[in-house]
Each structure stands twice: as C-alpha cells, then as structure tokens.
Structure 1
Amino acid sequence: MLVGYARTSTTEQEAGLEAQRRDLDAAGCGKVFAEHVSSVGERDRLRQALEFVREGDTLVITKIDRLARSTIHLWEIVRDLDAKGVGLRVLNLGGEVVDTKSATGRLILTIFAGFAQFEREMMLERQREGIAKAKAEGKYLGRKPTARAKSEEVLKLHREGKTPTEIAAAVGIGRGSVYRIVQGQGAVMG
C-alpha cells in the first residue's frame, strides 16, 4: 500500500497542503496523513503514519523537507522504515521519483537530503542576518510578550485557588509562564 504524508508549517499554507494531497492522491496513495505543524513541533500525524505502515508498504512524500528536519533525521526515519520492511518514495526531486528500495534511490536521496539541509541552514542564516540588521536599525522589536499582558488575570485565578494547569488553559499561556508570573509576585505555587 502507498501511504502519503503531507505537512505545512502553518495553517496559512492551506494551498500548499492541498497541492501535496493532490500529488499524493495522483501517485496512488490509499491513505494520506496530513498536518499543519512546524518541522520542530510535535508531529502527531507523522508519528501515526509511521505506526500505520506495514511490511511491503511505501511511505510517499512530495519533498524531503516535508518529512525530515535534517539529513540525520531523514536517515533515522529511513532506518525505522527499513526495520519494518517499508520503503520511502519522494515524488518531487528535480522531476524524478526516488524510491529507497533501490541502491540508486538511496544514493540520490542522500545527495538531495544534503542539499535540502544546506538550503534550510542558509535560509536560517539569512533570517538571522536580517533580524540582526533590523535590530541595529531599531526596526525589530521581537515577539510581543503575551504572558505578561495577562498577569492580572493569572494572579486573580491563583488567588481563587486554581492550579497552574487550570490557569494556563483558562488564560491561554504555558504553565511555565504561570509559574513565572506568580513567583514574580512573591507568591508560592502549590
């Protein structure tokens, strides 16, 4: 069975996710796992896809960067798929379809994975340079501190006896932020 996996980093990239689904359907995938999540986030649908595939199946993706964070991460996934007797097929590598069931496919995948990682690292380097330049020009202010803006509400709920988990859920911030706000006021969390 061909099993597809599609991912975009944000919900604003719906067209990109739909394009991946279309390509995976056209490739003959019987089941497609899709999600909106950053490559560094917890990818539940990828985990489900990797658990779903069985011996003789092939996991199909459109591009390497939709699956793996780095070349090492890619080969960890390939190793896990190999252990289950599952192949990996990448559809969009310069117009070629690459399948890890052949030695040539593995070689090509290694080369393209290296290029994909290089491209990502270059993009991050340019991003850091752009942020540094904007900071130097006084144009970059960073992310707005959302948790501090909710301090009064956090402290009110704490006084009412709510747990850190309940407060975090009610206010929409992380538990760590709840602890920092409460402890910053000299109070003790229970």
Structure 2
Amino acid sequence: MSKLIGYARVSTRQQSTDRQRADLLAAGVRRDDLYVDQGVSGARASRPQFDRALDALLEGDTLVITTLDRLGRSTQNMLFFADELRSRGAGLRVLNLGGGDVDTATPMGSMLFTIMAALAQMEHEIKRERVTDSIIKRREAGKDLGGRPRRVTDSQIRSAVRLVKGGEPAAQVARDLGMSRATFYRRSRALAD
C-alpha cells in the first residue's frame, strides 16, 4: 500500500516549521510519516531528517513537500534527487504547484520538475543579489548592518580607564563601549600587565 511521506525544513533554529507541518498534515501526510529538519540549510548535501524520509520511501510512495526549495538550492541537486526518486519508483507532490502530483517518472513530469527546479534556483539567486545590493547600499549610507559588535581597541580601553579614574561610573563607561563591566575590567587588567 502506497503512502505519503512528508518533509519540512527551515534553515535556522529561529524559524518555525508550523505552517509547513500544518500544510503537509492537511494534504494527508500522517504524523508518523512526517520528517522535519530544523536549522539545516538546503545547500547542505546531508540533512538528517531528509535522509530518513528518503529511507522511508518505498516503491509507489509519494514524497510531499510544501515548496520546491525545501529540496535544495541548485537545479543540479534537484535533478539528481529526481533521478533518485525515479529509480525508487516513487512520486513527488509539491503543494505550492496547486497540489498536483509531479510524476518524475513521466516525460512531462520530468520536464515540469526540471523547469520548476531551475526557477527555484533562479529565485534563490535573485534573493541573494537583492540582499547583497541592500548591504552595499546600507554600507554606503553609513547605516548599521547589525552582526557582531565592533572590536574595541586597546586605545579605547585606556581612554575608558582614564574616565573611570576621573570619576565616571565603570558600568556607564563599559556600556558606552558596548561591553559588560566584567569584560571592561578584564580588558583593563590585561593592559595593565
């Protein structure tokens, strides 16, 4: 008897798979047949739950995903995956394609899968270009990019020590440097040695 095997993935631990899970369950995937990778990039060749989902696929079964980009980032990876499905006699259902089955065993299904994989890769590359462009524009405008705090130089620590010796509260000086008071004291001691 054939069954539906569901797969969901998010790239970071902060993202939620709730929406994907709900869509997969609504499509008829049983909870026992649902595999979820949390905080795993689609660019990685090995994804633990994805590998388990593939192991669970038998001839006649169908892998169900919400969007094509859950499979991978490049057309080449997706085509390799399509060949693997074909060799197992398994199908693929992508819910964002109107819920229709994409049968990679047929010429039409194989062509549709190839086109959709290429479009997914193009979409990923366009997003990457937009992010890079946004970072360049923010940098040029002198705006904060977030990320790691800037490194505090030894010269800044020495100046801060002079402020503390002049009566400024150490907690305020450390806060102005963007560090904890304990870090400020540790760095001050290291310079004094």
TM range (shorter): 0.5 to 0.7
What is the 5 A alignment of 1:10-49?
A: 10-14=12-16, 17-30=17-30, 31-36=33-38, 37-41=40-44, 42-49=46-53
2:124 corresponds to: 120
User: Who wins on radius of gyration, i.e. which is larger?
Assistant: 2
Distance 1:106 1:98 in 2: 11
Which sections of structure 1, spanning at least 5 residues, go unmatched?
150-190
CA contact (8 A) 2:91 2:102 kept: yes
2:8 corresponds to: 6
Query: How far did 1:145 drift?
Result: 7.2
1:86 corresponds to: 90
Q: 1:71 aligns with which of 68, 75, 82?
A: 75
Does 1:130 find its partner at 2:134? yes
2:101 corresponds to: 98
3-state SS, counterpart of residue 13 of structure 1 = coil
CA contact (8 A) 2:8 2:37 kept: yes
- Name the TM-score, length of structure 1 as normaliser: 0.67
Identity %: 43
3-state SS, counterpart of residue 11 of structure 1 = coil
3-state SS, counterpart of residue 22 of structure 1 = helix
Which sections of structure 2, spanning at least 5 residues, go unmatched?
153-193
Number of positions where the alignment pairs a residue of Structure 1 with one of Structure 2: 145
Alignment RMSD, CA only?
Answer: 2.4
Runs of 4+ in 1 over 4 A off after TM superposition: none
Amino acid at match of 1:25: L
Distance 2:59 2:95 in 1: 21
Query: How far did 1:96 drift?
Result: 4.5
